[in-house]
């Protein structure tokens, strides 16, 4: 690190960068994008070279971990090349990706060989009909094959992310918990956030982590609090009392974790966001393509960090929903 760290006005030091490599996706989860969706023209999306340059600038100020997301990151051609480019940056200790798993069986081996450190696979149900209801596409068997291929390729500590939706996925909680436990996957439930493309979210559709925990304890087994790996991690983790498996809860709505947030995000078209719920953005693509030097880009990054708010305030009357839906930000 050759530059001072990225510290905001609340003293939070930023170490994690989420990079959306595309807004495109091969499925259409209703909580993330509308059924009919217009994607960005390819020329407006950051190139791998631009992403690498930005990451190098971030790493010079203390960013250590990168997560590739989208849209569906595996839908971006040549993703493993980008992984290799990012892994070679001084100061980057981990490159991870979050995927829907549909293309994972084809790509797990090459991503592993390129040096990808960790994988999160999103899967909300093991029921093929509900999978189609949520994603508006078929493909459950591909996701399961993708998880198996990733394990065969040598990925360990694979996480399975499940968005929990009240009135829809209650009956999926226990089968998912059993599936993850049997296969050595760390399961994390994420509360449904107001970032859906159709703007249908309301507080009644949130199934809280606490409700899910009770369902699992009743049907699978008692849970005990697990040690936090990182102070800034959004999830509260539990392990089964018998020592076999872990389950975590990301509860941005019922238990916001903003006070420990160390994340910053770049959208596919190079807009810097200091929060998932940010209503302000800094246009790094314009700077990159306008010939700005690294110092000018770093100044824009610092300005964004300086302007980071204390929290998202979903539960407050003043909460303003961001104009972008999840697929346009990168979860
Ligand atoms: N396509 C990849 C995937 O689905 O894993 C990466 C991008 S996706 C936007 C990242 C994560 O955000 C996924 O785990 C997805 O389930 C979650 N997500 C999307 N919309 C959400 C919402 N409105 N509330 C909570 N989580 C959401
Ligand atoms: Fe695609 Fe992921 Fe959004 Fe689902 S959550 S539509 S898989 S980007």
Q: What is the 3-state secondary structure (H, E, C) of 44-97?
A: HCCCHHHHHHHHHHHHHCCCCEEEEECCCHHHCCCHHHHHHHHHCCCCCCEEEE
Report pLDDT for 320.
87
**Arithmetic mean of pLDDT, 245-263:** 92
| Span from the CA of 161 to the centroid of ligand 2 (angstroms) | 12
Residue nearest atom 1 of ligand 2, based on CA coordinates: 25
CB contact at 8 A, 246 and 237? yes
Ligand 2 atom closest to 102 (CA) = 7
CA–CA separation, 281 and 295 (whole Å): 18
CA of 27 to the centre of ligand 2 (A): 6
Other beta carbons less than 10 A from residue 300's beta carbon: 17
- Structure tokens given for 179: 């599936």
What pLDDT is attached to residue 159? 97
Report pLDDT digits (tens) over 60-98.
999 999 999 999 999 999 999 999 999 999 999 999 999
Q: Measured between alpha carbons, how far is 58 from 14 in angstroms, rounded to an integer?
A: 10
Q: Which residue's alpha carbon is at the smallest distance from atom 4 of ligand 2?
A: 29
In this prediction, residue 47 carries a pLDDT of: 98
- Mean pLDDT across the chain, nearest whole number? 96
**pLDDT at residue number 18:** 98
Averaged pLDDT, 246-270? 93
Q: From ligand 1's centre to the CA of 286, what distance in Å?
A: 27
Tell me how far the alpha carbon of residue 24 lies from the centroid of ligand 2, in angstroms.
9
- Confidence tier at 255 by pLDDT (50, 70, 90): confident
Backbone CA torsion sign across 287, 97, 330, 76: positive
At 227 the pLDDT is 87
Q: What is the mean pLDDT of residues 231-247?
A: 92
The ligand whose atoms approach the alpha carbon of 165 most closely is 1
- 73, 122, 328, best to mutate for ligand 1 pocket (most atoms within 8 Å of CB): 122
CA of 122 to the centre of ligand 2 (A): 9
Ligand lying closest to the C-alpha of residue 164 = 1
Q: Which ligand 2 atom sits nearest the alpha carbon of residue 32?
A: 3
pLDDT digits (tens, 9 = 90+) for 206-234: 999 999 999 999 999 999 999 888 888 88
pLDDT, residue 274, reads 97
Lining ligand 1 with CB less than 6 A are: 25, 31-32, 69-70, 72, 98-100, 122, 161, 163, 190, 192-193, 195-196, 326-327, 331
Helices (H), the chain: 48-60, 79-87, 104-114, 128-135, 140-152, 173-183, 209-219, 284-289, 294-306
Closest atom of ligand 2 relative to the 69 alpha carbon: 8
- Whether residue 1 is predicted with pLDDT greater than 80 in this model: the reply is no
Pocket test for ligand 1, best of 120, 163, 200, 206 (most atoms within 8 A of CB): 163
Give pTM, 2 decimals. 0.97
* Cα-to-centroid distance, 75 and ligand 1 (Å): 15
Q: pLDDT by residue (tens digit) across 270-325?
A: 999 999 999 999 999 999 999 999 999 999 999 999 999 999 988 788 888 898 99
What confidence tier does 58 reach under pLDDT thresholds 50, 70, 90? very high
**Domains of the chain as residue ranges with CATH:** 16-329 (3.20.20.70)
pLDDT digits (tens, 9 = 90+) for 12-41: 999 999 999 999 999 999 999 999 999 999
pLDDT category of residue 268 using cuts at 50, 70 and 90: very high
The angle formed by the CA atoms of residues 91, 110 and 120, to the nearest 5 degrees, is: 65
The pLDDT, as a whole number, for residue 228 is 84
CA of 331 to the centre of ligand 1 (A): 5
Max distance between CA atoms of the chain, in angstroms, equals 59
Give residues (CB < 6 A) around ligand 2: 25, 27-29, 32-33, 70-72, 100, 122, 326-327
The closest residue, in CA terms, to atom 10 on ligand 1 is 331
């Amino acid at each position: 690190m050759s530059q001072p760290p990225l510290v905001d006005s609340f003293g939070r030091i930023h170490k994690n960068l989420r990079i959306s490599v595309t807004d495109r996706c091969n499925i259409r989860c209703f909580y993330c994008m509308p059924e009919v969706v217009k994607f960005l023209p390819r020329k407006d999306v950051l190139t791998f070279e631009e992403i690498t340059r930005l990451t190098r600038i971030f790493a010079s100020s203390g960013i250590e971990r990168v997560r590739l997301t989208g849209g569906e990151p595996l839908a971006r051609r040549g993703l493993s090349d980008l992984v290799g480019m990012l892994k070679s940056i001084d100061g980057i200790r981990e490159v991870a990706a979050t995927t829907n798993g549909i293309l994972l069986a084809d790509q797990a081996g090459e991503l592993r060989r390129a040096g990808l450190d960790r994988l999160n696979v999103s899967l909300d149900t093991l029921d093929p009909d509900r999978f189609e209801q949520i994603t508006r596409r078929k493909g459950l068997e591909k996701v399961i094959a993708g998880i198996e291929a990733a394990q065969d390729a040598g990925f360990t500590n694979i996480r399975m992310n499940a968005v929990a939706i009240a009135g829809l996925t209650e009956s999926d909680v226990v089968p998912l918990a059993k599936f993850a436990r049997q296969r050595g996957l760390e399961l994390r439930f994420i509360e449904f956030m107001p970032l859906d493309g159709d703007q249908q979210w309301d507080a009644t559709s949130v199934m809280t982590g606490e409700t899910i925990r009770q369902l699992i304890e009743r049907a699978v087994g008692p849970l005990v609090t697990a040690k936090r790996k990182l102070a800034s991690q959004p999830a509260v983790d539990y392990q089964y009392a018998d020592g076999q498996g872990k389950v975590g809860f990301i509860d941005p709505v019922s238990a916001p974790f903003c006070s420990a947030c160390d994340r910053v995000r770049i959208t596919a078209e190079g807009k810097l966001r200091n929060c998932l719920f940010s209503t302000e953005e800094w246009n790094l693509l314009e700077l990159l393509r306008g010939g700005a030097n690294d110092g000018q880009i770093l100044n824009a990054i610092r300005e964004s960090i300086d302007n980071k708010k204390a929290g998202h305030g979903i539960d407050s009357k003043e909460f303003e929903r961001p104009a972008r839906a999840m697929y346009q930000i990168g979860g």
